[in-house]
Amino acid sequence: MTVPFYSNQDIVDNISMKEAVELVEKAFCDYAQNKSKMPEKIYLNLPEFHGDFRAMPAYDSRYNIAGVKWVNSHAQNVKKNMASVSAMLLVNSPETGLPLAIVEASELTAIRTGAAGAVAVKYCTPKTAKSIAFVGAGVQARYQYECIREIRSIESVTIMDVHEATAQKLYTFIKEKDSCDVQICTDIEEATKDRDIIVTSTPVKSPILDKGHVGAHTHINAIGADAPGKQECSIDLIKSSQIIVDDTDQAMHSGDINTAVQDKVFLKQEILSTLGELLLDSSLIDVNQRSLFDSTGLAVQDMAMAGYFLEKIRG
């Protein structure tokens, strides 16, 4: 049998940011209601190559598909002018196990991560939220912006990145797309002051965002921590925020809270809820108080995106 292959461009051409946000929101709801299945990620750590691989299996009942994504994280690839994340997704029939498709999934991963951030903003901030700070201005910052603008009217953006060229690239992208005010900052305190939303998307292992950088009303999308040892937000900031996770076990193992959990200064019961639970009961959170979405990336999101894509192209 010939298994069809679909490229990154096929994904980009067939799934809009608006569709992605809607898909990921449904995926969170399905997962919270046990309509989809997902075991924990499996990590293949290769410190000698400054990176790792992850196997991410899941089953999606909405589209009746199962599969696994094989994705890497090599932060130092940037120095080689190469993508730090690349992924492939194998989609199977849950009834027979036969392969249905192979999907190049780097763009799919980036889009669904941006969409997850937008869903968090939708449910964790008031509708009046209109300013964003980006700490880290790489590829994911662009997708966070594109997806968040689907659900909030953004008027002001600040950008901070250790690489000036990277910050400039995001600045140019936003200015070409929208008329909002955009500023590049060299200081994190300046970048995050009085922001309604802060998005962190860096590969750091020591906190860069402190409680003093963040307003009492601010929502944070903590995107960068996706493996044990990574941490963007300080313990004080974590402890003073309403913590929303994409998946409890996964966040405790490899999300922004993982170091605090391992050090026994943050407990499982201090997590307010998963994002799926919040979607089902929005009264769980006070949108006018500080909140933090700990995003690790879920295989159920990948399957939902792939299922929608395959259904769409097959008519």
DSSP 8-state secondary structure symbol assigned to residue 194: T
In the DSSP assignment, the letter for residue 287 is T
Q: Identify the CA nearest to 223 among candidates 206, 190, 204, 200.
A: 200
* Residue 80 bridge partners (DSSP): none
3 state DSSP class of 115: helix
Q: Has 268 been annotated as catalytic?
A: no
* 148 class by beta-carbon count within 10 Å (0-12 exposed, 13-18 middle, 19+ buried): buried
Cβ atoms of 15 and 27 within 8 Å: the answer is no
Alpha-carbon distance 116 to 82, whole Å? 25
> Quick one: CA dihedral 299, 307, 5, 110, positive or negative?
negative
Query: Which residue is catalytic, options 69, 122, 169, 230?
Result: 69
Amino acid, single-letter form, for residue 87: A
Of 187, 117, 125, 121, give the one whose Cα is nearest residue 159.
187
Write out the catalytic residue numbers.
Answer: 69
